[in-house]
């Protein structure tokens, strides 16, 4: 199935997920290490992955009030996603989240994907502030957010990192 492409970067294609991605999505969400600071339980069933993809089918990028998981693909494989939700009441603010499969970590792919999504939100969707809620014990996430220039606010262990 052909997926709508949001952006292509040096190493990645950022695109809408399709039914064909359900197995990969269920697999990386089922890894308890990657799910430790996330909202879902493991294992993450294939049916839940299919349902999530179906639920997002008609969601536009940056549609206020709705989460969209943007697939991260490299070498033809779905390796993770960047989640985006533009605030429903305050449409100039957005929240982002992110997950990479364990074997895709350590190459800068999340940095590359997140920078691209943030740039799209700032330049094409009139977003002025972006935050990510993060547990300070989630060291790789904190490192990622600080790498892209986000600043800490709030009280540990749950902090918000904010850009702009
Ligand atoms: C958070 C998460 C996406 C970060 O993944 P990551 O692979 O560490 O981040 P990146 O893809 O940006 O890669 C950075 C690593 O690649 C290295 N790297 C290699 N080339 C790089 C490049 N061109 N640019 C940046 N980093 C590069 C960096 O040195 C870093 O490695 P290090 O941690 O050993 O120093 C990942 O750990 C994850 O999915 N965690 C589980 C989900 C989760 O908790 N999400 C957050 C909820 S708030």
Q: Which atom of ligand 1 is nearest to the CA of 80?
A: 39
User: For residue 147, is it left (φ>0), alpha (ψ between -120 and 50) or beta?
Assistant: alpha
Q: Are 83 and 25 in contact (CB under 8 A)?
A: no
CA 58, 96, 43, 106 torsion-angle sign = positive
Q: What ligand 1 atom has the least distance to the C-alpha of 114?
A: 12
Q: Any idea where the domains of the chain sit in the sequence? A: 5-163
Q: What is the pLDDT of residue 110?
A: 98
Q: Is 141 in the pocket of ligand 1 (CB under 6 A)?
A: yes
Query: Which atom of ligand 1 lies nearest, measured to the CA of 132?
Result: 48
- The reported pTM is 0.96
- Residue pLDDT, tens place only, 33-76: 999 999 999 999 999 999 999 999 999 999 999 999 999 999 99
pLDDT in tens for each of the 164 residues of the chain?
789 999 999 999 999 999 999 999 999 999 999 999 999 999 999 999 999 999 999 999 999 999 999 999 999 999 999 999 999 887 799 999 999 999 999 999 999 999 999 999 999 999 989 999 999 999 999 999 999 999 988 777 776 777 66
- Give the model's pLDDT for residue 164: 60
| Nearest alpha carbon, ligand 1 atom 29 | 106
Residue pair 12/114 in contact (Cβ under 8 Å)? The answer is no
- What is the rounded CA–CA span in Å between residue 154 and residue 127? 21
Q: What is the distance in A from the centroid of ligand 1 to the CA of 109? A: 7
Q: Which fold has domain 5-163?
A: Aminopeptidase (3.40.630)
d(CA 81, CA 112): 12
> Does any ligand 1 atom lie closer than 6 A to the CB of residue 116?
no
């Amino acid at each position: 199935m052909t997926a709508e492409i949001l952006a292509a970067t040096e190493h990645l294609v950022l695109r809408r997920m399709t039914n064909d991605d359900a197995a990969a999505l269920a697999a990386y969400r089922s890894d308890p290490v990657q799910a430790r600071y996330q909202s879902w339980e493991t294992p993450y069933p294939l049916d839940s992955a299919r349902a999530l993809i179906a639920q997002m089918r008609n969601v536009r990028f940056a549609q206020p009030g709705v989460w969209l998981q943007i697939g991260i693909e490299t070498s033809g494989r779905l390796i993770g996603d960047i989640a985006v939700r533009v605030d429903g009441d305050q449409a100039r603010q957005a929240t982002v989240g992110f997950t990479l499969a364990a074997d895709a970590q350590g190459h800068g792919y999340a940095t590359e994907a997140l920078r691209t999504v943030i740039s799209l939100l700032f330049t094409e969707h009139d977003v002025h502030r972006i935050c990510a809620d993060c547990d300070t014990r989630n060291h790789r996430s904190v490192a990622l957010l600080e790498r892209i220039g986000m600043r800490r606010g709030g009280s540990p262990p749950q902090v918000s990192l904010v850009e702009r």
